[in-house]
């Protein structure tokens, strides 16, 4: 079964006005087709009006592993871009993508809108309004469920002081879109409890 990382931070739109329409990333996701947690690809859907360009950066932690430009034309109003063979180190996935949007041909023209950014989180549930805090030996996370694609599972990445990433899976079988949930992790016992807030 293909493993997919669904985007946690949904691409945002700006309230600022720009002179020309931008190419716009309408959705994006990291996929791990081989299920090895090492070799990934980024699938990007976009819409554009005329000649625009999109520079895509992919970061694994602080390392830039993709830096490439795509140029749309009048014939390419909607489309899909696929960036294959994105390799992460040590099996840890800290993938992040940023899209810089300009008018005209690649790296020419004016910036026509703010950068769009996505961050990874291993999710079959898309969540928003996330907050987290440490209280003694526990970590409390509150979030709102945006949608559920497959199994109601969230995997949180804990970045440890030694640089290690610990993935902690939470099952929310009763979760529904629009609900707010609290998850409390016991960092000593490595257990968790969940509570639906509304």
Name 78's Cβ contacts closer than 8 Å, sequence gap at least 6.
45, 46, 47, 48
**60, 192, 184: which is closest to 131 by C-alpha?**
184
- Both 9 and 84 in a single domain? yes
7, 82: one domain: yes
Q: Are 91 and 188 members of one domain?
A: no
Considering the chain, what percentage of its residues have pLDDT values greater than 90?
Answer: 19
Please give the Cα distance from 73 to 86 (Å, whole number).
26
Quote the pLDDT of residue 161: 77
Q: Is the domain of 186 the same as that of 106? A: no
Number of domains in the chain: 2
Q: Are residues 81 and 175 in the same domain?
A: no
pLDDT for the residue numbered 89: 63
What span, in angstroms and rounded, lies between the C-alpha atoms of 181 and 162? 29
The answer to whether the predicted template modeling score (pTM) of the entire model surpasses 0.75 is no
- State which of 119, 153, 186 marks the end of a domain: 119
Using the 3D structure, point to which of 119, 143, 162 is the last residue of a domain: 119
11-39 pLDDT, tens digit each: 333 323 333 578 888 778 888 777 777 88
Among residues 119, 138, 154, which one ends one of the domains? Answer: 119
Q: Is 176 helix (H, G, I), strand (E, B) or coil?
A: coil
Which candidate, 130, 95, 122, 91, places its Cα nearest to that of 5?
A: 122
**114/138 same-domain check:** no
Range of the domain at 104: 3-119
pLDDT of residue 39: 84
Same domain, 91 and 140: no
Give me the pLDDT at residue 104, please. Answer: 87
pLDDT, mean of residues 174-180: 87
Domain match, 133 and 114 both: no
CA distance 75 to 170: 44
The per-residue pLDDT for range 104-160, each reduced to its tens digit, is: 889 788 888 888 776 554 445 677 788 889 899 999 999 988 777 656 778 787 777
Closest CA to 44 of 1, 98, 93, 8: 98
The pair of structure tokens assigned to 69 is: 């430009």
* pLDDT over 80 at 56, yes or no: yes
65, pLDDT greater than 50: yes
pLDDT tens-digit readout, 67-110:
999 998 876 678 899 998 888 765 445 678 889 999 888 978 88
Weakest-pLDDT range from 34-43, 58-67, 93-102, 159-168:
159-168
């Amino acid at each position: 079964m293909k493993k997919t990382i669904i985007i946690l931070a949904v691409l945002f739109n700006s309230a600022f006005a720009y002179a020309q329409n931008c190419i716009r990333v309408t959705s994006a996701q990291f996929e791990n087709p081989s299920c090895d947690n090492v070799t990934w690809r980024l699938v990007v859907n976009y819409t554009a009006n005329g000649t625009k360009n999109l520079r895509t950066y992919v970061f694994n932690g602080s390392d830039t592993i993709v830096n490439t430009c795509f140029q749309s034309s009048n014939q390419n109003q909607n489309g899909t871009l696929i960036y294959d063979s994105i390799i992460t180190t040590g099996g840890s996935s800290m993938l992040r993508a940023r899209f810089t949007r300009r008018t005209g041909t690649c790296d020419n023209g004016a910036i026509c809108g703010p950068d769009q950014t996505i961050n990874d989180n291993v999710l079959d549930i898309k969540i928003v309004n996330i907050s987290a805090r440490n209280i003694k030996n526990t970590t409390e996370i509150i979030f709102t469920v945006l949608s559920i694609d497959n199994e109601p599972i969230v995997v949180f990445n804990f970045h440890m002081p030694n640089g290690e990433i610990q993935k902690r899976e939470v099952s929310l079988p009763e979760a529904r879109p629009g609900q707010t949930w609290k998850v409390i992790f016991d960092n000593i016992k490595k257990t968790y409890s969940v509570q639906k807030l509304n």
